[in-house]
Structure 1
């Protein structure tokens, strides 16, 4: 049985955007991508699509931005804070925010805002994120003492894949114990 897609209209785009934003935080570019995927899916299913669909998408996105539902700065700040707490490196945080459709200036403001909020330098922020990753993944000082030596290279590789510089990863993995990480 062939699936039948609903016609793409302005009302459909508004409803799809509202439904998406109720469930997920998004940047303006992120919402634009979601709506474009809906249109592409409708094209694949041969559904009727209104003329000037790209202009309609821009109008819908602008309407949500003007209403304050979408705020790229707040989105970037919240996402950066969340990723930092999880132990995501600055490099990976920047990459994830770019992929979410955050422009470079907003991204820089979010990272600087995170430093101000945490009252740290970028290097200290990176160290705190590395320690958070080690805690979450039970690496280095969070590993049982008898296993640390055998897993050191594996732990360093995990930190490298997470986007941390070697010196930061080495400092965290080779820390004497978990308490010494919190002091740094």
Structure 2
């Protein structure tokens, strides 16, 4: 079981809960075939997870920060990031800490993290990458406005953030929103 966990962690960055789920699935399959004791398997899994954590293979705090940065860079809102990390079984304290650090990192140079809206930064990154709103050709911006609003809303951004971006007429005006 230890080797299964290590092999999984070599391939994927994962939370403690995600590794627990992988090991429990493997143990469940093995117990069906070999008629093992499920309680004994749970005990072993907990011991393996504790060992991996002591060895530094598992660190939910580091996982939460890395995943939050990655999701934000791909244009996910803080709400979507929080939801995704919770689904992966990351503890609420680790999620809060990761989102706080993310907000600090996303603040432009010389600005306080509390003055910067991390959702606006992520929404701009997503709109830029997908060529939504002000990054569309000017002649088609109006006809695609509803579609762009829907795309940003599906990413978890508030209607206020979406409107700010889509009300900008060109990319420079949209980027200037960060300076406000």
Answer yes or no: same fold by TM over 0.5.
Answer: yes
TM-score, structure 2 as length reference: 0.89
The equivalent of 2:121 in structure 1 is: 128
2:142 alignment partner, SS class: helix
Hey, what does 2:97 align to over in structure 1? 109
**Hey, what's the Cα distance between the residues in 1 that align with 2:52 and 2:115?**
33
CA displacement at 1:145 relative to structure 2? 1.3
Q: Which residue number corresponds to residue 158 of structure 1?
A: 151
Kept in 2: contact 1:115–1:122 (CA 8 A): no
Q: How does 1:1-184 map to 2 (within 5 A)?
A: 13-44=1-32, 46-49=33-36, 52-119=40-107, 120-121=113-114, 124-183=117-176, 184=178
Whether the aligned pair in 2 keeps the contact of 1:98 and 1:104 (CA below 8 Å) is yes
Cα distance in 1, alignment partners of residues 28 and 140 from structure 2: 51
1:42 deviates by: 3.1
Aligned residue in 1 for 2:110: none
Long gaps (5+) in structure 2: 108-112
Q: d(CA) in 2 for partners of 1:169 and 1:43?
A: 51
Structure 1 residue ranges without an equivalent (≥5)? 1-12
What is the TM-score of this pair, normalised by structure 1? 0.87
The root-mean-square deviation of aligned C-alpha atoms, in Å, is 1.6
Aligned length: 171
Contact 2:15–2:90 (Cα < 8 Å) also in 1? yes
After TM superposition, give the deviation of residue 173 of structure 1 in Å.
Answer: 1.7
- State the shift of 1:182 in Å: 2.1
